[in-house]
Amino acid sequence: MSKTRIAAAAIGLAGALAASQAQAQSASSSEQEIALLKQQLKMLEQKLDKLQSQTAANTAATAKARAEAKAEAKAEARSEAKAVVANANAAVPFKTPPPVSGAVVTMPNNRPTICTADGANCVAITSRVHWDVGGYDFRPNTAATVPQKLDSGENVRRARIGVVGKFLEDWNFALIYDFGGSSDGFGGTGAAGTTPVGFLPGGGTSGIENAFVSYTGLKPFGGKMAIEAGIMDIAWTLDESTSSNDIAFMERASVGIIAQNIAAGDFRSAAGARWYNDVFYAGAYVTGPTTGAIHSASTASPPGTSEQYGATARVAGQVVSGNDYSVHLGADAEWLIQPPRNLIANTQTLTLSDRPELRIDPTSLISTGAIANVSGAQVYGVEAAATYGPLWVQGEYYWFNIDRDANTAVAPVGTSSLKFQGGYAQAAYVLTGESRKYNPASAAYGGVKPNNPFSINGGGWGAWEIAGRYSTVDLNDQLATAAGIAGGRQTIYTLALNWYVNGNVRFMLDYLHGTVSKQASAVSATDTGSKFDAVALRTQFAF
């Protein structure tokens, strides 16, 4: 190899090395530039993100402002519209939409009832109508018998309407007026000057049957208690504790009516309490006069009288019970502590009487007349009842004691007490299989509720019941003495057929056969007794 070639090769090698070094330096510079550009790009991306966030925030704020402005405009427009509607409603009231009251309207057993939404306050309309039609075959024993005839016809026995309800769950009330009794009594005999006037058709008795308030918030000894006062129906006897809508006969037995009329019964002012649970019942009341009694001490016609007061007590219980049977026992006591006193004639009397277990004609066939110098009276009774499926039996017996030692200076003075007594036994059988249910609140059996109410379309025939009763009461004592009372002895047999059309409508058909043994007075054996047969039909609805 020549020197020239070697020199050329050396020069070429040197150039290649120089070029290689230059390329290396160029590559290093490019990497730095790339890194720098990446850093700048990252900074630009961050700035872009920040700008985008700010833009989004500004957009949202703008939208919110617009929405608020729009909502405010709508509210203002709505307010203006309401003002326009209010003005229009003020000008035309019937166009105002009714406010939401929160009341709930129901019809339990077809009784219109309005309650608050929580059920703590309620008011309901209640009513009953008992319309009787019937006739008597009356046979006086002698011409001395009074009366000589009983009048056949009709009687609106009860026509009641009123309201019942509660306040704040525990305060119960009732206000019921009775428009019935068109033949329950004779017109008043008072006078305006010398002109006789009658106070009410059928008798001088107020029609307020119930007007009382009852508190049931206390529940001592695991039971329920009702503390009540006002004008009410004192559930003193077992028969009286059963609603007149549910009794098996058109009228209750005479002995119970006579007993409760002394100081208990319907239309009676009273205050007291009763406690009960599923087994036991106890109640006691202080009683006053009935509604319509004279409250004046100075009137001459009718005579001014002082008001009477008395007391009643009853304990009873369902001593045996099962799925389709039960047994009830009880005892009662009643005291007339202060009889009413006639302040004009200075007399203090008591009369015991009743109609012959039917009220088409208001005449009483047995009566003690006005017993003079009565200082008090006591009545004691026992009661029993039982059910077995559709069979129901019930009976009561009562003993009366009338004290006659009041100091009125009216003969006879200082005479001995009088003793009377009486009772009844009755039974009923529901042919369609229903049974009477026990009501612990009154310690008595309720009525018959048909399983299949009568319906021409549905094929139901309601419930059918047959019943029979024997009742007797003796108002004779100390006969053949001047101080004796010849009020008479009455015995009545009653058969009944009852059709319960549905829970609100009932038809009752009663047949009565009665005998009254009576003499003209305690010292006269003249026969003034009688016999009678009667048939009567009752049409009833109640809710």
- The residue behind tokens 């009216």 is 410
| Pairing status of strand 524-527 against strand 530-542 | unpaired
Assessment of whether the complete model's pTM goes beyond 0.85: no
Nearest C-alpha neighbor of 250 from the set 27, 434, 510, 38: 510
Question: 116 — phi, psi (to 5°)?
Answer: -70, 165
User: Could you give the CA distance from residue 89 to residue 68 in angstroms, rounded to a whole number?
Assistant: 31
* DSSP conformation class of 81: H
User: Could you give the CA distance from residue 268 to residue 289 in angstroms, rounded to a whole number?
Assistant: 6
3-class DSSP string for 438-505: EECCCCEECCCCCCCCCCCCCCCCCEEEEEEEEEEEEEEECCCCCCCEEEEEEEEEEEEEEEECCCCE
3-state secondary structure of 205: coil
Nearest C-alpha neighbor of 139 from the set 531, 490, 511: 531
Distance of CA 302 to the CA centre of its chain: 36
**Region label for 296, one of left (φ > 0), alpha (ψ between -120 and 50) or beta (otherwise):** beta
Query: How far apart, in Å, are the Cα atoms of 271 and each of 227, 268, 354?
Result: 8, 10, 26
pLDDT one digit per residue (tens) for the chain, 543 residues = 444 444 444 444 444 434 444 443 444 566 777 777 777 777 777 776 776 667 666 666 666 656 665 666 556 556 654 554 445 454 445 445 555 567 999 999 999 999 999 999 999 999 999 999 999 999 999 999 999 999 999 999 999 999 999 999 999 999 999 998 754 544 444 444 444 444 433 444 568 999 999 999 999 999 999 999 999 999 899 999 999 999 999 999 999 999 999 999 989 999 999 999 999 999 999 999 988 777 777 777 777 788 899 999 999 999 999 999 999 999 999 999 999 888 888 889 999 999 999 999 999 999 999 999 999 999 999 999 999 999 999 999 999 999 999 988 787 888 999 999 999 999 999 999 999 999 999 999 999 999 999 999 887 999 999 999 999 999 999 999 999 999 999 999 999 999 999 999 999 999 999 999 999 999 999 999 999 999 999 999 999
532 contacts 512 by C-beta, under 8 angstroms:
yes
486 contacts 521 by C-beta, under 8 angstroms:
yes
User: Could you give the CA distance from residue 536 to residue 153 in angstroms, rounded to a whole number?
Assistant: 9
Query: How far apart, in Å, are the Cα atoms of 479 and each of 403, 486, 521, 525?
Result: 17, 7, 8, 9
